[in-house]
Amino acid sequence: MTENLEILFEDNHVIAVNKKVSDIVQGDKTGDTPLSEKVALYLKQKYNKPGNVFVGVVHRLDRPTSGVVLFARTSKALTRLNEQFKKKDDLSKTYWAIVKNKPPKIEDRLTNFLRKNAIKNKSFVCAEDSNGAKQAILEYKVIQHSDHYYLLSVNLITGRHHQIRAQLSNIGCPIKGDLKYGFARSNDDSGISLHARSLIFIHPVQKEPIHIIAPVPNDELWKYFEKNASK
């Protein structure tokens, strides 16, 4: 029996799911069942398919992050989507992040160099000439605020390890619940308030743009922001 999956888009070639903070996209050392296997089981049961069901992982989200995750249902679709995500042509990812501190600017483009520490599973802002440094670029905009928090819309220009978490922390705005990057308290669900809100990509077969929006987690603050966000 499959767990309750929130399917955002599904056809014969791709399937998109709204990931919960507890989900891992691919298997890891925890041994927990990854989202890819849950999707495969869902498809197997829904369509009464014999044998193994193909589910290709196109991209990933950190475990404590929620939002839209896209999977390929055929090897041909996976190959084409991998190429698209690599080139980033006609591809747009928008994240929503909740922070407590007001950013220095209402909107800005952040350019840093990041170095990943695999042992700590953390990325650090560093000098350009540091060993292993990779350029990280994002754009953010404050689109709503409550009495105590700010909602940022974030567009990734590059895709680096923990990029949004590290770059926002670097300007004094760690994401709500993100202890690893400097927030004071954890969230009740042990996740962080970073949500992959929307994904625009070109369908691997139909060649038409697909725009997927992921509803926010079932949380009072998230629901307030979703209701009142300017975009």
Mean confidence (pLDDT) of the chain = 94
The domain segmentation of the chain, as residue ranges, is 7-228
Q: 1-11: per-residue pLDDT in tens? A: 456 899 999 99
DSSP codes joined into one string, 152-215: EEEEESS--TTHHHHHHHHTT-PBTT-GGGT-SS--TTS--SEEEEEEEEE-TTT--EEEEEPP
| Sequence-ordered alpha helix ranges (H) in 47-182 | 75-87, 163-170
Q: How many CA atoms lie within 13 A of 75 on its CB side?
A: 0
In angstroms, rounded to a whole number, what is the distance separating the alpha carbons of residues 125 and 112?
A: 6
The CATH number of domain 7-228 is 3.30.2350.10: yes
Closest by Cα among 51, 23, 54, 27 to 40: 54
Q: What is the pTM of this model?
A: 0.94
Stretch 170-181: mean pLDDT, rounded?
98
Instruction: Note the pLDDT of residue 1.
Output: 43
**For residue 133, how far is the Cα from the chain centroid?**
22
Sign of the C-alpha dihedral, residues 164, 80, 50, 17?
A: positive
Instruction: Note the pLDDT of residue 2.
Output: 53
Instruction: Note the pLDDT of residue 28.
Output: 75
Instruction: Note the pLDDT of residue 124.
Output: 97
Q: 29-86: per-residue pLDDT in tens? A: 777 899 999 999 999 999 998 888 999 999 999 999 999 999 999 999 999 999 999 8
